Copies of this chain bind each other. A is one copy, B any other.
Amino acid sequence: MKIYTTTKPLILGSASPRRKDLLGSAGIEFKIQPACGEEPKPLPGQNPEEYAKKTALLKALEVSEAHPGNYVLGADTIVVRDMDILGKPADQDEAFGMLKSLCGRSHKVITGCALIGPDGNSVNFSVSTDVEFIDFEEKCIRAYVTTGEPDDKAGAYAIQGLGAFLVKGICGSYTNVVGLPLARVIETLVQWGVVVPGDE
């Protein structure tokens, strides 16, 4: 018995192992073809939701053009402190600075998603989750940064990894903080007939 059955050819346009694990967890089948194009830099004052949605759409478009006949899912996750968009840190000093700026307060994690069909039809949405960090000591972040976990993560932490100790609580989708708002993505795939509940 299957939780969901995939009935159309689906491509995940992302190299993230977290997204692969999340999407695969409910039994959904797909191929992986990461987008290679450079992500656009956020413009000054750009709305974070709009930025995440647009970046996801650009990724999905690139993969869709290269792989016609498929449904393509693109995603982009950002961390937003007030109105500042935090991407992946350039080095460990920047990772330390990012984490320190998030200490003892709340920020938002936003994932933009885009699904494009073989006919070029598309849907583009974003999901936002509030995350509250504990008021940690600097030596804890110093040690966390040296583990290397923050290196390739937006906002310089992984809620599903060692970084769990940073998080007091969240409000919204947890998988969205990991990198893919699973419930909303599955709902969309069901609406589009790409997957069906249960066995075919």
Question: Interface of A with B (CB < 8 Å)?
Answer: 1-4, 22, 25-27, 129, 134, 136-137, 139-140, 142-144, 146, 159, 161-162, 164-175, 182-183, 186-187, 197-199
Contact = CB atoms under 8 A, between A and B. Distances in A.
Given A129-B169, A143-B199, A170-B171, 6 more contacts: A3-B144, A159-B174, A165-B183, A168-B183, A169-B174, A169-B183
B1 A134 contact: no
Contacts of A197: 136-137, 139-140
A25 B164 CA distance: 8
A interface: dominant SS = mixed
Contact of A165 (B3, B134, B165): B3
A175 B170 CA distance: 10
A47 B140 CA distance: 37
B1 A142 contact: yes
B25 A137 contact: no
A56 B174 CA distance: 26
Nearest to A168: B183
Given A162-B25, A162-B26, A182-B165, A3 B171 contact: no
A59 to B, nearest CB: 23
A174 to B, nearest CB: 5
Contact of A198 (B140, B164, B175, B199): B140
Given A1-B146, A3-B144, A169-B173, A199 B159 contact: no
Given A159-B174, A170-B174, A198 B143 contact: yes
A143 B25 contact: no
- Of A129, A144, A146, A197, the most chain B CB neighbours within 10 A belong to A197
